[in-house]
Amino acid sequence: MANVPSDQEALDAIREELANIKVPGAEQATADQTWADLDVDSLDLVEVVKALEDRYDVQIADGRLKSIATVGDAAGLVQELTREKEGATA
């Protein structure tokens, strides 16, 4: 399961993608912060999700977007999807 990111790796990936779209304080973002805390709007989130999809080669369905309210939720979803992908190809 080498391709499933650790908690820290997933968090770092999201911080990086937030920084790429110039979200202030992206590097210090914590798992419990909401998008509203970070001033991330719906279009920002679309960009972050697209970047994470490309980075991990996963698809994040629109239905699941609604369940990610915090940075930690997004990290968890990335881990879950990469785990599913690993399982499917194992």
Partner 1 sequence: MPDTARKNGHDGCALVTGGTRGIGAAIAERLEADGWQVARLSRTSGDVQADVGDAKQVKAAFEEVHERFGPVLVLVNNAGVRHDGLAIRMPEEEWQEVVDTNLTGAFNCTRSALNDMLGARWGRIVNVSSVVAERANAGQANYVAAKAGLLGFTRTVAREMAKRGVTCNAVTPGVIETDMTADLADGLVTAVPAGRVGRPDEVAAAVAFLVSEEAAYVNGATLAVDGALGA
Binding site for partner 1 (CB under 8 A): 43, 47, 50
Q: CB of residue 58 vs partner 1: minimum separation in angstroms?
A: 18
Catalytic option among 7, 41, 54, 57: 41
- By the 8 A CB rule, do 17 and 48 touch? yes
Give the separation between CA 19 and CA 6, rounded to whole angstroms.
20
Q: Which is nearer to partner 1, 57 or 84 (CB)?
A: 57
Number of H helices, E strands in the chain: 4, 0
Q: CB of residue 34 vs partner 1: minimum separation in angstroms?
A: 20
Q: How many CB atoms lie within 10 A of CB 82?
A: 20
3-state secondary structure of 70: strand
Q: Is residue 41 flagged as an active site residue? A: yes
Q: CB of residue 51 vs partner 1: minimum separation in angstroms?
A: 10
Which residues are designated catalytic?
A: 41
